[in-house]
Amino acid sequence: KQEVTQIPAALSVPEGENLVLNCSFTDSAIYNLQWFRQDPGKGLTSLLLIQSSQREQTSGRLNASLDKSSGRSTLYIAASQPGDSATYLCAVMYTGANSKLTFGKGITLSVRP
C-alpha cells in the first residue's frame, strides 16, 4: 500500500531556531513530491514541488530535499518565525497514480516568540 508518514505529529520550537520536518513514503516510484502549508480552517498553500529527478528545491527560507532510494523528504525552515506556525503537509504523486496526491497527516508546528 502506498502511504506517506509524517512524524512527529506536532512540534514546538522557540523563534529563530532552524528546523527540519520529515516525510517518509513507502514506494520509490514517485513522480513528484509537494510540501504544503495549512493554516487552521483554511485550504492548502503549495510551498515547494520536487520532481523525482531533482534532489532539492529552495524558496526563501525553505529548502526541501528528496531521497527516493530511502523514501524520505525533508523540509528545512531557516530562522523560524511565529508566522511559520501552521500545519505542514507532505504529499506524494506516485507514478501511474493518475496524478492524484497521497498525503501524510501533517506536522503541526508552533513557533514560540
Instruction: Tell the smallest beta-carbon distance from residue 82 to another protein (Å).
Output: 23
Smaller CB distance to another protein: residue 14 or 100?
Answer: 100
Instruction: Tell the smallest beta-carbon distance from residue 83 to another protein (Å).
Output: 19
Binding site for another protein (CB under 8 A): 4, 31-32, 34, 36, 41-46, 49, 51, 89, 91, 93, 98-106
Smaller CB distance to another protein: residue 18 or 35?
Answer: 35
Closest CA to 27 of 75, 93, 105: 93
Instruction: Tell the smallest beta-carbon distance from residue 108 to another protein (Å).
Output: 9
